């Protein structure tokens, strides 16, 4: 690992080792046993014989965060548990990823209004893949893990704008393994702000696509004929209004 950081830009050596490391990492993602609530049952179901997670290399659920690669947050994160979840996340060794499984881990889910429910796991830890559902089917979780695998394939050892930086760095530039104790209690007590000098992690990323997804992904399928007629009438009206607006705008610009 340290050898590759000698290079400043990707070259044939680093891309080859990238492929090797990413292949190794994505095919042996060991999840942490972090089943919180109902999604945990579906996660266990995914790990069992019918929907086998072991064929992806991810069937070995470890109990200790030190040995885990991916933390599948499955279930509602209460603020009491958020403190412990952050501690566990920081005890995991790099490289690590987080899958937010289920509506509760993504955004609080059906319990959004609760006074003790964290509105999404990504309020305290960075999340890589969101798997929606309540609970998501095992096939959906497998799709989430495959998406994570595709994301891991894209990683590069060199060639970021800056060198990959460690997670918790305070103002002087010292790397900290854990936050100071009061930070964890702050999460539990509900105080949001982290220490100003600690840079937030930037692993969550948005798909860098240009434009809209292909039409097949936005196709709703079958629409009842009455609704279809109404939609077509609306489309025609909107197009007419646009053309009507175009003419005066063109005039205005011309003049």
Partner 1 sequence: MTVSLPEGDLQERLERYLEGFREHAELQESGIEEDVVRVVVEPELVPRVLTVARDVLGIMHLSFITVVDRRGHFDLTYELLDLRGGRVRVKTTLEGEEPVIESVTGIYPTANWHEREAYDMFGIAFRGHPDLRRVYTWQDHFDHHPLLKSFEISTKRTFEGLR
Partner 2 sequence: MLKEEERRRAETVVPGGRESGRLARPDIRDEFGLETMDMNMGPQHPSMHGLLRLVLELDGETVVRCDPVMGYLHRCQEKIAENRLYPAVIPLTDRLDYLANIHNEHGYCMAVEDLMDVEVPPRAEAIRVLMSELMRLASHIPSIGFLLLELGAFSPILYAFRERERIQDIFEAITGARMMFHYIRIGGVKADLPEGMEERIWNYIESLEASFKRDFIDLIEGNEIFVARTRGVGKLTQQKALEIGLTGPPLRCTGVDFDVRRDYPYSWYPNVEFDVVTDEAGDVEASYRVRVKECYQSMRIIKQVLEKMPEGEVMADLGRRLRPPEGEGFGRVEGPRGEFAVHVVSDGTDVPYRVHYRDPSFVNMQMLQEIVPGHYLPDIMPIMGLIDPVSGGWDK
Opening angle at CA 144, ends 142 and 148, nearest 5: 115
What gap in Å lies between CA 249 and CA 244, rounded to an integer? Answer: 9
Neighbours of 13 (CB within 10 A): 14
Give the DSSP H or E segment for 71.
strand 70-74
Nearer to partner 1, 114 or 126 (CB): 114
Tokens 């990823």 locate to 97
Q: At what angle do helices 181-189 and 79-91 cross, to 10 degrees?
A: 150
Q: Do 130 and 207 meet the contact criterion of CB atoms below 8 Å apart? A: no
Nearest in space to 125 (alpha carbons), one of 39, 41, 34: 34
Distance of closest approach, residue 170 Cβ to partner 1, in angstroms: 21
Nearer to partner 2, 21 or 143 (CB): 143
The site partner of 15 among partner 1, partner 2, none (C-beta below 5 to 8 Å per kind) is none
Of 123 and 203, which CB lies nearer to partner 1 in the complex structure?
123
CA-wise closest residue to 97 among 155, 39, 157: 155
Given 3, 24, 41, 240, the residue binding partner 2 (CB under 8 A): 41
Residue 114 binds partner 2, judged by CB under 8 A = yes
Check residue 35 for interaction with partner 2 (CB under 8 A): yes
Interaction site with partner 1 (CB under 8 A)? 79-80, 82, 108, 112-119, 123-124, 186-193
15, 17, 33, 186: which one contacts partner 2 (CB under 8 A)? 33
Which among partner 1, partner 2, none contacts residue 189 (Cβ within 5 to 8 A by kind)?
partner 1
User: Which residues in this chain contact partner 2 in the complex, by CB under 8 A?
Assistant: 33-38, 40-42, 44-45, 48-50, 63, 75-76, 78, 80-81, 84, 88, 110-111, 113-117, 134-135, 137
């Amino acid at each position: 690992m340290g050898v590759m950081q000698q290079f400043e830009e990707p070259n044939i050596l680093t891309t080859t080792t990238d492929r090797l490391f990413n292949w190794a990492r994505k095919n042996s993602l060991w999840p942490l046993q972090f089943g919180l609530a109902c999604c945990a049952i579906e996660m266990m179901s995914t790990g069992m014989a019918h929907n086998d997670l072991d064929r992806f290399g991810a069937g070995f659920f470890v109990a200790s965060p030190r040995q885990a690669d991916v933390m599948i947050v499955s279930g509602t994160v209460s603020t009491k548990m958020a403190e412990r979840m952050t501690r566990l996340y920081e005890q995991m060794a790099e490289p690590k990823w987080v899958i937010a499984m289920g509506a509760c881990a993504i955004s609080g889910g059906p319990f959004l209004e609760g006074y003790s429910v964290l509105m999404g796991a990504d309020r305290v830890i960075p999340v890589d893949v969101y798997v929606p559902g309540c609970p998501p089917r095992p096939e959906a979780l497998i799709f989430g893990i495959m998406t994570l695998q595709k994301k891991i394939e894209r990683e590069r050892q060199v060639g970021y704008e800056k060198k990959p930086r460690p997670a918790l760095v305070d103002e002087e530039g010292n790397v900290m393994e854990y936050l100071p104790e009061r930070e964890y209690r702050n999460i539990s007590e509900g105080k949001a702000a982290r220490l100003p000098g600690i840079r937030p992690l930037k692993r969550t990323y948005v798909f860098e696509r240009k434009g809209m997804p292909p039409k097949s992904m936005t196709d709703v399928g079958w629409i009842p004929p009455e609704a279809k007629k109404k939609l077509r009438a609306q489309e025609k009206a909107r197009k007419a209004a646009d053309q009507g607006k175009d003419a005066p705008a063109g005039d205005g610009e011309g003049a």
